[in-house]
Structure 1
């Protein structure tokens, strides 16, 4: 493969809309194990939210997919491969990206936990607002206030 061909292939995987219209591959070998990727993503996406018991499985799958993507990209960048092999790597990487996008768009795992976190953040913003409004958040820390008088 010539260097300009390699650069074109690398540009394809980094393109903003590379995954638009691309199907998730039926299966893929990830970290040495065959994974029915399409079936896995569709099974998880059928639900509105990911149950707590499945979250670890989904997170592990995303981590492995990211690692596999990186390894394939490094092969494309570094190894002396044919254009045909490069094309296959690009198609696989784009398919992995499509699966990752689908998994990233899943709903929240723990609605109550998310609501609690939002409430804590709201309280913190309110306290910061009050401190600022009451002058308690002033950086001068009393310098010039009645000192020496």
Structure 2
């Protein structure tokens, strides 16, 4: 592979938004172990909450995926691969990034707190709208003695 081709591949995998439209690989070898990555990610995302035992498994999977991603990027950087192998590696790296993004978005959520925050934000927007619509603001009301 030529130096400019390697540079293009590396830019592609580091590009912001590279994962948009990318697929999570069905199966991938991570740290010498073959895993069904897509099935794992979708299985975890289907749940409303992640049990404590599963949380450890997810964190371990994310750590292993990051390590695997780094190793694949280094293979491209070293340039000991053909153009076709580099393309395949780049596609897999982007798929790993997509899986990592999906797993990163998981986490303990407090639905009640989120709902309260949403209601408070809605109320604030509504009050701001009403003040503008009625031509009032707090400073003008205070000057008029209200």
- Once residues 34 and 24 of structure 2 are traced to their aligned partners in structure 1, the CA distance between those partners, rounded to angstroms, is 15
- Once residues 77 and 43 of structure 2 are traced to their aligned partners in structure 1, the CA distance between those partners, rounded to angstroms, is 34
Question: Is 1:87 aligned to residue 77 of structure 2?
Answer: no
Q: Structure 2: 5+ residue runs without aligned partners? A: 114-146
- Aligned-residue CA RMSD in angstroms? 1.3
Q: 1:9 maps to which residue?
A: 9
1:1-149 pair list within 5 angstroms = 1-108=1-108, 111=110
How far off is 1:79 after superposition? 3.4
- Once residues 37 and 60 of structure 1 are traced to their aligned partners in structure 2, the CA distance between those partners, rounded to angstroms, is 13
Once the two structures are superposed, what CA deviation does each residue of 1:15-62 show, in whole Å capped at 9, x if it has no partner?
Answer: 001000111111100000000000000000001221111000000000
Of 42-51 and 27-36, deviating more is 42-51
The structure with the largest helix share of the pair is: 2
How far off is 1:107 after superposition? 3.0
Once the two structures are superposed, what CA deviation does each residue of 1:51-84 show, in whole Å capped at 9, x if it has no partner?
Answer: 1110000000000000000000000001321100
Ranges of 4+ aligned residues in structure 1 off by more than 2 Å = none
3-state SS of the aligned residue for 1:29? strand
Q: 1:118 maps to which residue?
A: none
Question: Does the 8 Å contact 2:6/2:79 carry over to 1?
Answer: no
Number of residue pairs aligned between Structure 1 and Structure 2? 111
Question: Does the 8 Å contact 2:49/2:107 carry over to 1?
Answer: yes
Question: Does the 8 Å contact 2:24/2:38 carry over to 1?
Answer: yes
